Amino acid sequence: MLIGQRLRELRESKKLSQGDVEKRTGLLRCYTSRVENGHTIPTVETLEKYATALEVPMYRFFYEGEEPPEKPKLSSANAAERTWGATGSERRELVRFAKALSRLDDRQRKLLFVIASRMARRRGNLPSK
């Protein structure tokens, strides 16, 4: 559904005129008319003004139901599986590595980083400089 049509439906359901919306938002009546007729696309900031004036949440401009749409169920386990060091023995190894790094001074950490970068580059995991 077009935002302009939805704006008109919401405004009319609240029994407000374009003039009423102008008073509540500070947006000119002719601008609201242009939006409702599909001649102008409002910015997000403008939609926030309309939502405040109509006393509706912003999702109502994009969704026709009375209740907000259901949020997709994302499995946090899948994200953890893709991240090295997030679970199991990798996590324990990462913690041990972090403790070891905390005992090094700056010079030693830089040297370790250079060595690790060269090793990764040799394996083709890092782009060359």
Cβ–Cβ < 8 Å for 17, 57: no
Cβ–Cβ < 8 Å for 14, 6: no
What is this structure's pTM?
A: 0.53
- Cα 38 to Cα 98: distance, rounded to the nearest angstrom: 57
Task: Single out the residue of 70, 45, 41 nearest to residue 58, CA to CA.
Answer: 45
Q: Answer yes or no: CATH 3.30.350.10 is held by domain 3-61.
A: no
pLDDT tens digits along 51-105: 999 999 888 888 777 777 777 776 665 554 567 777 788 888 888 888 888 898 9
Domain borders along the chain are 3-61, 85-122
